Copies of this chain bind each other. A is one copy, B any other.
Amino acid sequence: MPTQKELAKLAGVSSGTVSNVISGSVPVGERSREKVLKAIRELNYQPNLIARSLRTNRTHTVGIIVPDITIPFFPKVIRGAESAARERGYFVVVAESEGSSEREAELIALLRSQRVDGILLIVAAGAKRPPLSSSDLPVVYLDRLPDGFEVDSVCVDDRAAAEMGIVHLLSMGHRRIAILTGPLTLKNEQERLRGYRQAFKKSGVPVQESLIWSSSFNLEEVMSVCQKGLLKPRNRPTALFTTNGLSGMGALRSIIASGLSTPRDIAFVTFDELTSEDIFRPAITSIVQPASEIGSRGMEILIDRINTGSVTGPRKKIRLPAMLAVRESSGVMLQKRKTL
**Residues of chain A whose beta carbon lies under 8 Å from any beta carbon of chain B:** 1, 46-51, 53-54, 59, 69-70, 72, 75-76, 78-79, 82, 91, 93-94, 96, 109-110, 112-115, 249, 252-253, 256-257, 274-277, 279-282, 340
Contacts and interface: CB of A to CB of B under 8 A. Distances in A.
Given A93-B94, A253-B340, 18 more contacts: A46-B109, A46-B112, A48-B54, A48-B113, A50-B50, A50-B53, A50-B115, A69-B75, A69-B79, A70-B276, A75-B75, A91-B114, A249-B277, A249-B279, A253-B279, A257-B340, A280-B280, A281-B281
A273 to B, nearest CB: 11
Contact of A76 (B70, B78, B79, B249): B70
A75 B70 contact: yes
A50 B54 contact: yes
A277 B274 contact: yes
Please tell me how many copies of the chain the complex holds: 2
Contacts of A54: 48, 50-51, 54
26 contacts: A1-B112, A46-B112, A48-B113, A48-B115, A49-B114, A49-B115, A50-B53, A50-B54, A50-B59, A50-B114, A50-B115, A51-B54, A70-B75, A70-B76, A70-B79, A70-B276, A79-B96, A82-B96, A93-B94, A256-B340, A274-B277, A275-B275, A275-B277, A275-B280, A280-B282, A281-B282
A50 B60 CA distance: 13
A79 B70 CA distance: 9
Contacts of A78: 69
Nearest to A278: B253
A281 B279 contact: no
A274 B277 CA distance: 8
A114 B50 CA distance: 6
Contacts of A115: 48-50
B79 A113 contact: no
A139 to B, nearest CB: 16
A227 to B, nearest CB: 13
Nearest to A281: B281
A113 B45 CA distance: 9
Contacts of A277: 249, 274-275
Nearest to A51: B54
B91 A94 contact: no
Q: Which 10 A-B residue pairings sit nearest by Cβ, starting from the closest?
A: A280-B280, A281-B281, A94-B94, A69-B75, A275-B275, A49-B113, A70-B75, A46-B113, A50-B53, A93-B93
Nearest to A252: B279
A255 to B, nearest CB: 9
Contacts of A252: 279
Contacts of A53: 50
A9 B47 CA distance: 34
A280 B276 CA distance: 12
Contacts of A76: 70
Nearest to A109: B46
A3 to B, nearest CB: 12
A274 B93 CA distance: 27
A252 B113 CA distance: 47
A197 B128 CA distance: 60
A120 to B, nearest CB: 14
